[in-house]
Amino acid sequence: MVAKTDRDVSAMAASLPRSGIRAAASLAAGKEGLIHLEFGEPSVMAPLAVRQAAAEALLKQRMVYTPTEGPPALRQALSDKLWRVNGVEASPDEVFVTHGGIGALYLALATLLETGDEVLLPDPGWPNVVSQVLALGGVPRFYPLASEDGYLPDPDSWSIGPRTRAVVVNSPSNPTGSVFSGALMERVAAVASHHGLFVISDEVYDQIAYDARPVAMRPLYPERTLAVYSFSKTYAMTGWRLGYLVTPKNRVDATKRVAEAVYSSTSMVAQEAAKAALTVPEAEIQSVVATYHRRRDLALDRLREWGLYRYTPGGAFYLMVDVSAAGDTAGVHRRLIEEHGVVTVPGSAFGASAAGELRLSLAAKDEDIGRALDAVAEVLGLR
């Protein structure tokens, strides 16, 4: 017989907020025929070469444990990709294969934070990072992003105190799709350097940009940049759960210690698929990006038609839509599901400053995006 205790779970676990994205999906669970715009889920399959490499590995290789930091061949291929695509010079020893991009973020934070350390986070921003900071005993501090500024930050206005340890930046951004200019990245680096901060640069959408190539942070601030990447978005490999962290060499050992404690190593099947993904021709990638670009423009045209246009996302595949005129964003969210079969995410899932907004994923099919925007307009009484 198990003795009764005053608590069944830790205070940390009990206090963590639920992901608003997952909560939105839960509201739609069990309903058929819905248009799903809540997840950043590419509507295409992973490239054929990726799927073939995985199938061949399963058939011909014995699936075994791999090095915690990832196999040397994959880390070399990632080092080559970083230089070729991102202009980032990083040796294979500085590239760490992780359990998805979220695993890279966790390792970056876990090797930095002591209890009470503060991390500057974007608002609106991807909510999982907030939970990670809390789980590690850190203190989230938020810097606001506004639609009238294109959801771009002003680093000179950041409130930086004696316990501020790091700042998280995200370009191209989830949830806004904003892309930092080179000049803005330089300002981030200058402010971080002046205050001795680490920069955790979330570059998961590094190859999904429309108007200008995203600028990487590491070349501007190599000594204290931890850069996060993923196979999920560019290669439509969300379910393969593989990402990578680029970290200064003097942090590799600490990163390995944390990874060993949390997940030991990543999937060998996913690693074989990832090696194939890195050989996919650039033209194939850009063809998919062009599809996202077209969907963005389709969405913006509809928003202009109803007077809802506010900004142009420069990358990723998301759009924030202002529904504050309805007065009850949660109510709009529920009505879209119940009356129109459209699943979005309330802006409050991404931060207090986005409480009057909805995030829509533009990774869905053209017709689904059109129908979803029609539904938003109808709920707002605009058509």
Whether the predicted pLDDT of 215 surpasses 80: yes
What confidence tens digit (pLDDT) does each residue in 114-149 have? 999 999 999 999 999 999 999 999 999 999 999 999
pLDDT at site 143: 97
Residues 150-177 have a mean pLDDT of: 97
Evaluate if residue 28 carries a pLDDT over 70.
Answer: no
CATH of the structural domain 48-277, one choice from 3.20.20.70, 3.40.462.20, 1.10.260.40, 3.40.640.10: 3.40.640.10
pLDDT one-digit tens code per residue, 38-92 = 888 888 899 999 999 999 999 999 999 999 999 999 999 999 999 999 999 999 9
Q: How confident is the model at residue 5 (pLDDT cuts 50, 70, 90)?
A: low
pLDDT for residue 16: 86
pLDDT of residue 126: 94
- In which residue ranges of the chain is CATH 3.40.640.10 found? 48-277
Interval 317-333 mean pLDDT = 89
Q: Can you give the three-state secondary structure of the chain, one letter per residue?
A: CCCCCCCCCCHHHHHCCCCHHHHHHHHHCCCCCCEECCCCCCCCCCCHHHHHHHHHHHHHCCCCCCCCCCCHHHHHHHHHHHHHHHCCCCCHHHEEEECHHHHHHHHHHHCCCCCCCEEEEEECCCHHHHHHHHHCCCEEEEEECCHHHCCCCCHHHCCCCCCEEEEEEECCCCCCCCCCCHHHHHHHHHHHHHHCCEEEEECCCCCCECCCCCCCCHHHCHHHEEEEEECCCCCCCHHHCCEEEECCHHHHHHHHHHHHHHCCCCCHHHHHHHHHHCCCCHHHHHHHHHHHHHHHHHHHHHHHHCCCCCCCCCECCEEEEECHHHCCHHHHHHHHHHHHCEECEEHHHHCHHHCCEEEEECCCCHHHHHHHHHHHHHHCCCC
Correct CATH for 16-40+282-379 of 3.20.20.70, 3.40.30.10, 2.60.120.20, 3.90.1150.10 = 3.90.1150.10
Residue 3: pLDDT band (50, 70, 90) is low
33 pLDDT band (50/70/90 cuts)?
A: confident
Q: Give the chain's mean pLDDT.
A: 93
Q: Considering the entire predicted model, what is its pTM?
A: 0.94
